[in-house]
Structure 1
Amino acid sequence: MKSLACPIREGAGLHPEAQALTFTGRSWSYRELDEEVGRWVAALETRGICEGQRVALLATNHVASVFLFWALGRLGALFAPLNARLTAAELAPLVEDVEPGLVLALEPLRDKLPRAEPLESFAGTATSGTCRALEEGSPRVVLFTSGTTGRPKGAVLTEGNFRASARASAANLGPHPAPRWLGTLPLFHVGGLSMLTRTAYEGGCLVLHERFDAEATNRAIDEDAVSHASLVATTLERVLDVRGGRRVPSTFRFALIGGGPVPVPLLERARAVGLVALQTYGLTESCSQAATEHPGEADGRTAGPALPGVEVRVVDAEGRPRGPGVEGDIQVRGPTVMAGYWRRPEATREALRDGWLHTKDLGVLDERGRLTVLSRRTDLIVRGGENVYPAEIEAVLVDHPAIAEAAVVGIPDARWGEVPVAFLVPRAGHAPPDGETLTAWCRRCLAGFKQPARFIWREALPRNAMGKLERQVLRRDASG
């Protein structure tokens, strides 16, 4: 199997003074980034971190996260970033599952992880020249994602996954001598890590922001020569609102839009100011994009065809391919598909069968092979690009002493795309708590984006003859 060198070390040799990274007004050339990564390698070696070990990180976007990611690659260790929006109760089982040799966190977040050491001051002045060559199958990241059961699973993404994803994206978007990707997506999401890696593989620059801000995004487009960005519909709309009709400069090429369908009027607004927005479909298990509109054929009606080198098909319940226009289950195959789930062999066998990733999403292909996603898993709620799993919220609600049953469904929302609504059955002998009480109960264990927008009490939940919950009835009632 081919050995793969660290792209930062390669870049330091090929174009040492080219800009590799910017963050909060400071920039690093490939030479400077290579040196900084060497200091992080030395600090990790001092702590005994070596091949195969995991390092867990709790952080919002920060330059130290970039240094840590590349340093772990030089040691053959795995990066396990955790969602900074989760509560301490949600984080604890993830850390237990990954069994890290080291836990780091930004200082403001350390109270969520009792074992965490401060990320900002971890590396010292000593440096190390250690730089392992990796193979395509070398694990690089354990990235937690939940299935429809709500139980977190760690998708293991390899060096080959990230490189294949970068190649496929570049082949679809077209050549660029040194792309400058705007990094507003969190580095604990696959989208953020994809931007981090593809800039390095292509000799480009990551323009990293701590968080999304519409005004800062527009400044990056106008003043920092950003060429590419990745957004969701809600953030695209905020960018356009701030622009106020000003056209984007010619240096800006494309914005990838994920996280669910994009309203056609919004795409038209974008194109009116010269911002080419390309819809995309992907998931953690496929290392971000699986299908994306081609720039020369984009019309905003689909998520586009499969990326070059990747296959996407739609099948029936028996796994037989569906023809154009016929709905079915979406499956993905290719070098971007994960190695499997961390220490979850049964879940891995369920997801990876016959060489295909079974996404459990529903979709349809047109006669040109372009994908339309109909449902992102049967019960999944996508709120502003964040996955919200009903089972996880339901488990918290039924722990309340006054609640006998709970069911959560998503309903359309103009701002967030979807929001969760909870239907509740009171426990005998208990008065139903009010909304404020329930919100406070959920806040103990659930991140803000998972909070139900409404609580609706019922005498009983609708079920079919087999006793299965009829969520479609609840969706209709919640939307009525």
Structure 2
Amino acid sequence: MTASCPIREGAFRSPDAEALTFAGRSWTYRELDAEIGRWVAALEARGVGAGDRVALLSTSHPGCVFLFFALGRLGALLAPLNARLTSAELAPLVEDVSPRLRLALSSWVDRLPGAEPLETWADAVTSPSPTCEPLAESTPRVVLFTSGTTGRPKGAVITEGNFRASARCSEANLGKHPAPRWLGTLPLFHVGGLAMLTRCAYDGGCLLLHDRFDADAVNQAIDAEGATHASFVATTLERVLDARADRPMPESFHLALIGGGPVPTPLLARARAARLLALQTYGLTEACSQVTTERPLEADGRTAGPPLPGLDVRIVGPEGEVLGPGREGDIEVRGPTVMAGYLNRPEATREALRDGWLRTKDMGMLDERGRLTVLSRRTDLIVRGGENLYPVEIETVIASHPAVQEVAVVGVTEARWGEVPVAFVVPRAGQPLPGDLDAWCRRSLAGFKVPARFLSIEALPRNAMGKVERTVLRQRALAS
């Protein structure tokens, strides 16, 4: 099965509909189609064709959008690199990609040797190319590198079919919208950002692209620019509510998807009071963003929801046996959103993809209604005296304390129990580390789950993808 460029289709169907906005500028589908055509011409002039790869180092910028769809019309791949990485961290990724061309924001070209400035790269081309090759669903579209928390990052190859299926499955869960306007604050080097971009294109919607997260700009987009959907994590959701002083959302704003882990109950209550429907999700790069999401009419904030329509999730035990509701084990995913594999890593691909199932290396359980609770990554599991402790369970309780901004729990080696949990707590601004955290935890947790220590920290250390660096915290806990 093949499909043509969704922007070209939009230009025929609704040429004057808004497709993209950025920093006060706007492009209709007709204008965006023409701009992408110019970039196709520029790529053809440089000999870029089917199967070639282009490395990109940039924050979210219109040039990223033009490049992504232009490469699609040629059957070439985009390799967006994490803009937070250093030159030393980028070097092995570029080596894996072996790009035909390298582009970067002009201020960052020195970090990507051989790169040309993105902003002006296609300026010399005045006439758009008509080339718009149909793409098979199996055609690779991007290479997205994982965060590398357990070794050298791996490049997940995401196909045209993966993106289309992700949009289709999400729409089946959320409901079709006649003209969605997604707020694009997630970076376009992240699967979540690309999922919003492609979802807008396939649905005939508009991406309100921001180069970074800014709570005031988000609220401006919601209140004055007609944003209908957004994606947040708990901390950015809280910042949005703080910035608007909990003013109710306008009726034009439909919902927000929440990733990155469970949301504290008090924060969900704040969102509901502000007429903000916040749906918890679970996803990963290798499954093209969302895997499970709460259903709009059934959301209660207790789980990450059931699998999206068209996807399957199961929990398996140590020997690969499928476990029933309420049993804890490894999360596996099957469906049309699952990646083609890892670039140049056949052994890693075989390890991750078995009999059609993606082995996520995350742990969780399903309830009787098929809703997923994510417990931890296998590498984050804490084993205290033979009992399994899941950091997310402990973190959820601590994060609900009114004086706590953020928290991360790690396991630290201990002679008697093997491991004990230690909590690193970021207090809210102007407040000290709460002295009642032990008692607070014991109201909701069994005694063996209560952290052995609570350590105050100004900010949680995070890697380039924004994930908490638990290894750094373990070292700090041992040193203290």
- TM-score category by the smaller chain? 0.7 to 0.9
Residue in structure 1 matched with residue 312 of structure 2 by the alignment: 311
Question: Does 1:191 pair with 2:206?
Answer: no
Task: Tell whether the 8 Å contact from 2:78 to 2:141 is kept in structure 1 after alignment.
Answer: yes
Residue in structure 1 matched with residue 63 of structure 2 by the alignment: 64
Question: Does 1:360 pair with 2:358?
Answer: no
Regions of 4+ moved over 6 Å: 380-383, 450-456
Question: Does 1:327 pair with 2:328?
Answer: yes
Task: Tell whether the 8 Å contact from 1:155 to 1:284 is kept in structure 2 after alignment.
Answer: yes
Letter in 1 for 2:15: P
Residue in structure 2 matched with residue 208 of structure 1 by the alignment: 209
- Displacement of 1:413 in angstroms is 4.0
- Displacement of 1:415 in angstroms is 7.6
Rounded Cα–Cα distance in structure 1 between residues aligned with 2:262 and 2:378? 14
Is the alpha carbon distance of 1:450 and 1:331 closer, same or farther for their aligned partners in structure 2, counting shifts above 3 Å? closer
Rounded Cα–Cα distance in structure 1 between residues aligned with 2:45 and 2:61? 22
Superposed CA RMSD: 2.6
Rounded Cα–Cα distance in structure 1 between residues aligned with 2:41 and 2:465? 37
Q: Deviations over 1:24-51 (max 9, x none)?
A: 0011000000000000000000111000
Is the alpha carbon distance of 1:214 and 1:134 closer, same or farther for their aligned partners in structure 2, counting shifts above 3 Å? same
Q: Deviations over 1:150-174 (max 9, x none)?
A: 2110000000000000000011001
Residue in structure 1 matched with residue 175 of structure 2 by the alignment: 174
- Displacement of 1:478 in angstroms is 6.0
TM-score by length of 1: 0.81
Is the alpha carbon distance of 1:149 and 1:87 closer, same or farther for their aligned partners in structure 2, counting shifts above 3 Å? same
- Displacement of 1:14 in angstroms is 0.4
- Displacement of 1:308 in angstroms is 0.3
Letter in 2 for 1:37: I
- Displacement of 1:262 in angstroms is 1.1
Task: Tell whether the 8 Å contact from 1:280 to 1:303 is kept in structure 2 after alignment.
Answer: yes
Task: Tell whether the 8 Å contact from 1:182 to 1:229 is kept in structure 2 after alignment.
Answer: yes
Task: Tell whether the 8 Å contact from 1:72 to 1:79 is kept in structure 2 after alignment.
Answer: yes
Is the alpha carbon distance of 1:295 and 1:81 closer, same or farther for their aligned partners in structure 2, counting shifts above 3 Å? same
More displaced stretch, 143-152 vs 328-337: 143-152
Rounded Cα–Cα distance in structure 1 between residues aligned with 2:218 and 2:151? 33
- Displacement of 1:148 in angstroms is 4.9
Query: 1:320-399 maps to which residues of 2 (within 5 A)?
Result: 320-379=321-380
Give the SS at the match of 1:72.
Answer: helix
- Displacement of 1:18 in angstroms is 0.4
Unaligned stretches of 5+ in structure 1? 391-408, 417-441, 457-470
- Displacement of 1:339 in angstroms is 0.3
Rounded Cα–Cα distance in structure 2 between residues aligned with 1:447 and 1:359? 20
Residue in structure 2 matched with residue 27 of structure 1 by the alignment: 26
Residue in structure 2 matched with residue 297 of structure 1 by the alignment: 298
Is the alpha carbon distance of 1:46 and 1:455 closer, same or farther for their aligned partners in structure 2, counting shifts above 3 Å? closer
Residue in structure 1 matched with residue 36 of structure 2 by the alignment: 37
Give the SS at the match of 2:119.
Answer: coil
Task: Tell whether the 8 Å contact from 2:82 to 2:464 is kept in structure 1 after alignment.
Answer: no
Unaligned stretches of 5+ in structure 2? 382-390, 396-407, 411-420, 429-460
Task: Tell whether the 8 Å contact from 1:87 to 1:447 is kept in structure 2 after alignment.
Answer: no
Query: 1:225-304 maps to which residues of 2 (within 5 A)?
Result: 225-304=226-305
Rounded Cα–Cα distance in structure 2 between residues aligned with 1:230 and 1:44? 32
Rounded Cα–Cα distance in structure 2 between residues aligned with 1:415 and 1:184? 26
Question: Does 1:219 pair with 2:189?
Answer: no
- Displacement of 1:412 in angstroms is 4.6
Q: How many residues align?
A: 412
- Displacement of 1:110 in angstroms is 1.2
Give the SS at the match of 1:298.
Answer: coil
Give the SS at the match of 1:285.
Answer: helix
Is the alpha carbon distance of 1:451 and 1:370 closer, same or farther for their aligned partners in structure 2, counting shifts above 3 Å? closer
Rounded Cα–Cα distance in structure 2 between residues aligned with 1:358 and 1:313? 10
Is the alpha carbon distance of 1:90 and 1:300 closer, same or farther for their aligned partners in structure 2, counting shifts above 3 Å? same
Rounded Cα–Cα distance in structure 1 between residues aligned with 2:91 and 2:336? 32
Letter in 1 for 2:69: W
Query: 1:102-181 maps to which residues of 2 (within 5 A)?
Result: 102-123=101-122, 124-181=125-182
Letter in 1 for 2:31: E
Letter in 1 for 2:43: L
Task: Tell whether the 8 Å contact from 2:48 to 2:76 is kept in structure 1 after alignment.
Answer: yes
Task: Tell whether the 8 Å contact from 2:105 to 2:117 is kept in structure 1 after alignment.
Answer: yes
Give the SS at the match of 1:250.
Answer: coil
Letter in 2 for 1:289: Q
Residue in structure 2 matched with residue 399 of structure 1 by the alignment: none
Q: Deviations over 1:48-91 (max 9, x none)?
A: 10000000000001011000000000000001000000000000
Task: Tell whether the 8 Å contact from 1:315 to 1:328 is kept in structure 2 after alignment.
Answer: yes
Give the SS at the match of 2:154.
Answer: strand
Task: Tell whether the 8 Å contact from 1:160 to 1:335 is kept in structure 2 after alignment.
Answer: yes
Letter in 2 for 1:44: L
Q: Deviations over 1:288-330 (max 9, x none)?
A: 0000000000000000000000001111011111111110000
- Displacement of 1:410 in angstroms is 8.8
Letter in 2 for 1:255: A
TM-score by length of 2: 0.81
- Displacement of 1:117 in angstroms is 0.3
Is the alpha carbon distance of 1:241 and 1:52 closer, same or farther for their aligned partners in structure 2, counting shifts above 3 Å? same
Give the SS at the match of 2:146.
Answer: strand
- Displacement of 1:377 in angstroms is 3.9
Is the alpha carbon distance of 1:454 and 1:328 closer, same or farther for their aligned partners in structure 2, counting shifts above 3 Å? closer
Task: Tell whether the 8 Å contact from 1:16 to 1:29 is kept in structure 2 after alignment.
Answer: yes
Question: Does 1:86 pair with 2:85?
Answer: yes
Q: Deviations over 1:225-279 (max 9, x none)?
A: 1000001111001001011021000110010000111111111110100000000
Is the alpha carbon distance of 1:15 and 1:450 closer, same or farther for their aligned partners in structure 2, counting shifts above 3 Å? closer
Rounded Cα–Cα distance in structure 1 between residues aligned with 2:308 and 2:204? 21
Is the alpha carbon distance of 1:93 and 1:254 closer, same or farther for their aligned partners in structure 2, counting shifts above 3 Å? same
Give the SS at the match of 1:71.
Answer: helix
Task: Tell whether the 8 Å contact from 1:225 to 1:252 is kept in structure 2 after alignment.
Answer: yes
